[in-house]
A and B are shown apart, each in its own frame.
Chain A
Amino acid sequence: MRWEWLPKYLPNLMFGLGITLQILVISVVVGFLLAIPVGLSQVNGSRFSKTIAGGFCSYIRGTPLLTQIWLLYYGIGSLFPLIPGMRENYMWLIRLDAYWYVLLAFTLSFAGYEAEIMRGAFLSVPKGELEAARAFGMNSGKVLRRVWLPSAVLKVLPTLAGEVIGQLKSTPLIFTVPVMDMMSVTSKIRQDTYLTYEPLLFLAAIYLILTFFITRLFAYFESYIPVRR
Chain B
Amino acid sequence: MVAVFQPGGNMIPEVLTFGRTGFADELLRGALMTVYIAAAAFMLGLFLGQFGAMAKLYGGPISRLVAGFYTTVIRGIPELVLILFLFFAGTRGISAVGQAVGYGPIQVNGTLAAILVLGFVQGAYSTEVFRGAILAVPIGQIEAARAFGMSRFQTFYRIIFPAMLPNAIPGLANLWLSVIKDTSLIVVTGAGGELFQATKTAAGFTKRYFLFYLVSGIIYLVLTLTSNFLLVRLERYVRRSQSKLA
Contact = CB atoms under 8 A, between A and B. Distances in A.
Contacts, number: 102
A63 interface: yes
A200 B81 contact: yes
B84 A71 contact: no
Interface residues of B, number: 39
B3 interface: yes
Contact of A67 (B89, B216, B225): B216
Interface residues of A, number: 38
Contact of A78 (B80, B177, B209): B209
B204 to A, nearest CB: 9
Interface in A31-63: 58-59, 61-63
7 contacts: A63-B221, A64-B181, A67-B220, A71-B217, A78-B207, A176-B188, A208-B73
Nearest to A71: B213
B50 to A, nearest CB: 24
A25 interface: no
Interface of B is mostly: helix
A63 B78 CA distance: 18
B210 A76 contact: yes
B221 A58 contact: yes
A35 B210 CA distance: 26
Interface string B191-218: 0000010011001000111100110110
Nearest to B212: A75
8 closest Cβ pairs, A-B complex = A75-B210, A71-B213, A62-B224, A64-B184, A74-B209, A78-B209, A169-B78, A64-B181
B85 A197 contact: yes
Given A62-B177, A66-B196, A70-B209, 17 more contacts: A62-B220, A64-B182, A64-B196, A65-B181, A66-B184, A67-B217, A71-B214, A74-B209, A74-B210, A78-B207, A79-B210, A173-B80, A183-B80, A183-B81, A200-B85, A207-B77, A212-B76
